Amino acid sequence: MSAAASTSPSSVLPHPPPDDEGPAGPGTPRRQKGRATAKTVKRPLRERLRRDRTLLLLCVPGILYFVVFFYVPLAGNVIAFQDYQPYLGFKESPMVGWANFQALLQEPEFWTATWNTLEISAVQLLLYFPAPIALALFLNSLLSSRTRRFMQTVAYLPHFLSWVVVVGMFQQAFGGAGTVTSYLNDHGIDVGNLMNNPDSFIFLITSQAIWKDAGWGAIIFLAAMASIDNSLYESAAIDGANWWRRIWHVTLPGIRPVIIMLLILRLGDILSVGFEQILLQRDNVGQEASEVLDTYVYFHGVVDGDWGMSTAAGLMKGVIGFVLIYLANKAAHRLGEQGVYRR
Amino acid sequence: MTTESFAAILRHRRRHPERPAWMEQPGLPAQAIKTVVIIGMVVAVAYPFLLCLGTSLASKDELAANGGYVLFPSDPTFEAYRVVLDGGVVTRAATVSVGVTLVGTLLSLLCTISLAYGLSRPGTTAGKPLLLLVLGTFLFTPGIIPNYLVIQELGLLDSYGALIAPTLLNAFNIVVMRAFFQGIPDELHEAAKLDGAGEFRILRTIVLPLSKAVIAVVGLFYAVTYWNSFFNAMLYINDGEKLPLQMVLRSYVLQGDTFNAKALGVAVLPSSTAMSMAVLILAIVPIVAVYPFLQKYFVKGVLTGAIKG
């Protein structure tokens, strides 16, 4: 708007008359004038508030929501430093400083959860992260736009299913009586019940994640690939590059900023791994294999009522994630990449 | 047909009209691998659906004869659906889910549209800090327990409000919608202003009619979130009457709870596998039903958010 407005004659007036914002009738472009001059001559706050009152009013419900359901709970993390008693509330509960954190660090279950989380994150980074890229490369290689659209439809669909449904479906195929399990058993391969096996749990949840979300994750890579200049491929081909070298020297460098951006986001999320997905299967494989930080917080806080300590665990997780994303972004900037946000 | 002419046909396969002149025609092995991958993907996605659908439609005898699962029932019966939808626990839960999804999506869209529009005009007083307030929610999560305590403090425990409030607004969706609103040409705005329209009127008569696509996408995202969420119910709801479908599905399919003939109000039950698969299919049907209509929009929606955000 500002570009168009600054060419209007009113903006050349050095000092707009004070009654400019007066009770102008409909049809008078007073607001336009006000906006244009707002940059050069700062109007009094009250006047600007009056000018923007409709827009601000529209913001009220949403902002109020974020304050109540995001910033208030954020501040509520203060109970990590309290011996929180539900009947006292967080105003009356005694402050205990870092005691919750100290107790937490001596809790073996907390370390199991941390270790499991890191292990799952590492495996998913290795196996899950490249899946959408590979899928996008494949979809991008389909020439017929009809086939490509159809395959995209197929690939995106599982993203919209709930974890309950996805785990339920896996159960029907890979559970003890599942179809794939019985088929393998009939052919002399005894895989047992893959849904209950703690040793292969990490691969089970990784394949579930790939089945559900690899297609959805491919969207952003596909878009990045679509924006690569076609003449790059053409000149590469003329220089004798075969399809593989075109992928290696043109496509992958073309989508590198997107890959790095998502890698940074993934690093920031390294301590959160598929909460709902794991929660649903925790009873099957036992907590030794499946307890992660989020489920630890849930079971020790809400279920066992150890409020202070589990909030401390949650807070620590949040702070570490925040620091990680900050550092990863900084590293990306240093390497000359764009990162998630600009400085 | 001789081998020679067969080879000749292969050599002169029709060149795909969309294949650029510089791109070599892939060899037979490459084509074969592509075809296999395509078929593999379709099977990987379709098989679980068909397995659950087939099993939900099969009769007790057929299931018993086939080791518990049937892909294509020879004599489909809707008995399992009839029983679970005949006014028992599942019917109740499905009603809750439909209600929460409809009301929740409507409220979410109202708040998202107004906030996104409020933040979309350049130079609004306090626009920057308010936008930062929204974007700040990307950086951190308050954590399960503080969230729980806020819901408790507001007296929302065990109420439908607790199923809506936690996911009412999503900063990502606001960014998507705001980016879309900002893409609407300024001239339309200018013209409407000259004609004396206020911001609210511009939103209603100009911006909204132009934004059907993004509203559809964001609405889909919200609706799917409401329909699919089970953890909020697990955390905040004790009253069995208020449990959504996903929770009931979880108890039957994953926790192995058995169907209670009395709770379902029937004397003789069909196969319990068929019934749990019927519940699973019920939990999928609304999504599969709207998906094809919205699919053409959502890629655009995702990308606006990803790139402009």
Picking from A1, A28, A302, the nearest residue to B186 by CB comes out as: A1
Q: Across chain B, how many H-helices and E-strands are there?
A: 17, 0
CB contacts of A177 in chain B (<8 Å) are 67-68
Residues of B in contact with A62 (CB under 8 A): 111-112, 114-115, 118, 134, 169, 174
Rounded average pLDDT over A43-50: 84
pLDDT of A1 > 50? The answer is no
pLDDT at A330 over 90: no
Nearest CA-CA distance, residue A242 and chain B, Å? 8
Pairwise CA distance, residues A217 & A214, whole Å:
5
Residue A272 has pLDDT above 90, yes or no: no
Asked if pLDDT for residue B33 goes beyond 60, the answer is: yes
Domain ranges of chain A: 1-43, 52-97, 101-334
Q: How far apart are CA B172 and CA B128, in angstroms?
A: 17
Place of tokens 């009939």: A186
Residue with tokens 């339309």: B188
Question: Which residue has tokens 């998913």?
Answer: A124
Residue of A9 and B297 predicted with greater confidence: B297
The residue among B15 and A96 whose pLDDT is bigger is A96
pLDDT at residue A137 in the model: 95
Contact residues for A277 (Cβ-Cβ < 8 A; gap 6+): A163, A166, A167, A205, A208, A209
- Top pLDDT among A201 and B294 is at A201
Q: What is the DSSP letter of B122?
A: T
pLDDT of A169 over the 80 cut? yes
Q: How confident is the model at residue A83 (pLDDT cuts 50, 70, 90)?
A: confident
- Confidence class for position B7, pLDDT limits 50, 70, 90: low
Residues in chain A: 343
In DSSP notation, B107-121 reads HHHHHHHHHHHHTTS
Closest chain B CA to residue A302: B145
- Judged against a pLDDT cut of 80, whether residue B259 lies above it is answered with no
Q: Check whether B308 has a pLDDT greater than 60.
A: no
From the list A173, A234, A301, the residue facing B22 with the nearest CB is A234
Buried b (16+ CB within 10 A) or exposed e, A235-260: ebbeeebeeeebbeebbeebbeebbb
Largest CA distance in chain B: 82
CATH superfamily name and code, A101-334: MetI-like (1.10.3720.10)
Q: Which residue of A has its CA nearest to B138?
A: A322
Q: Which residues of A touch B164 (CB under 8 A)?
A: none
Test the A interface: residue of B51, B114, B145 with most A CBs within 10 Å: B145
Q: What would the pLDDT profile of A241-258 be if each residue is shown by its tens digit?
A: 888 999 999 999 999 988
Look at B45 and A157 and tell me if their CB atoms are within 8 Å: yes
Nearest CA-CA distance, residue A55 and chain B, Å: 4
Do A77 and B122 lie within an 8 Å CB cutoff?
Answer: no
Q: Which residues of chain A neighbour B123 with C-beta distances below 8 Å?
A: 1-2, 35, 38-39
CB contact under 8 A, A58 and B117: yes
Kindly state the average pLDDT of the residues A216-233. 91
Instruction: Give the phi and the psi of residue B296 in degrees, each rounded to 5.
Output: -65, -20
DSSP 8-state secondary structure symbol assigned to residue A299: I
Q: Which of A32-41, A62-71, B155-164 has the least mean pLDDT? A: A32-41
Judged by DSSP in three states, B252 sits in helix
Query: What value does the mean pLDDT take over residues A44-71?
Result: 91
The whole-number pLDDT of residue B309 equals: 39
Is domain B92-268+289-308 in CATH 3.30.413.10, yes or no? no
Measured between its terminal Cα atoms, the distance across chain B in Å is 60
Residue A29 is predicted with a pLDDT of: 44
pLDDT score recorded for residue B244: 95
Does residue A82 sit in helix, strand or coil?
Answer: strand
Q: Tell me the chain B residues in contact with residue A279 when contact means C-beta distances shorter than 8 Å.
A: 231, 234
Highest mean pLDDT among A48-62, B49-63, B104-118, B263-277: B104-118
pLDDT for the residue numbered B28: 86
Of these ranges, A327-341, B127-141, B236-250, B264-278, the one predicted with the greatest mean pLDDT is: B236-250
Q: Exposure string (b/e) for A168-188, b if CB count within 10 Å is 16 or more?
A: bbbbbbbbeebbbbbebeeee
Contact between chains at A243 and B255 (C-beta distance less than 8 A): no
In this prediction, residue B18 carries a pLDDT of: 78
Over residues B51-76, the pLDDT tens digits come to 999 999 998 888 888 888 888 888 88
* pLDDT of B106 strictly over 60: yes
Residue B266: per-residue pLDDT: 66
Nearest to A69 among B119, B150, B298 (CB): B150
Phi, psi of A175 (to 5 degrees): -65, 175
Least confident of A14-23, A149-158, A181-190, B157-166: A14-23
The verdict on a CB contact (< 8 Å) between A160 and B280 is: no
Highest-confidence range of A320-329, B46-55, B251-260, by mean pLDDT? B46-55
Tokens matching residue B146: 């503080």
Chain B environment of A234 (Cβ under 8 Å): 20, 22
* Mean pLDDT score across all residues of chain A: 84
pLDDT of residue B303: 63
Quick check: ipTM above 0.90? no
Alpha helices by DSSP H, listed for A106-200, are 108-127, 130-141, 145-156, 163-174, 179-186
**Which of B67, B168, B194 lies nearest to residue A29, judging by beta carbons?**
B194
Q: What is residue B9's predicted lDDT score, i.e. its pLDDT?
A: 60
Average pLDDT of the residues of chain B: 87
Considering chain A, what percentage of its residues have pLDDT values greater than 70? Answer: 86
Neighbours of A60 (CB within 10 A): 13
**Yes or no, beta carbons of B307 and A223 under 8 Å apart:** yes
Q: Do B229 and A39 touch (CB under 8 A)?
A: no
Contact A154 B42 (CB under 8 A): yes
Q: CA B102 to CA B116: how far, in whole Å?
A: 21
Which of the 8 DSSP states describes residue A70?
A: I
CB B218 within 8 A of CB B173: yes
Which residues, including other chains, have CB under 8 Å from residue A234's CB and lie 6 or more apart? B20, B22
Q: Name the residue with higher pLDDT: A1 or A303.
A: A303
pLDDT value at residue A10: 38
* Structure confidence at residue A34 (pLDDT): 46
Which residues of B fall within a CB distance of 8 Å from A151? Answer: 38, 41-42
* CB B282 within 8 Å of CB B253: no
Contact B145 A35 (CB under 8 A): no
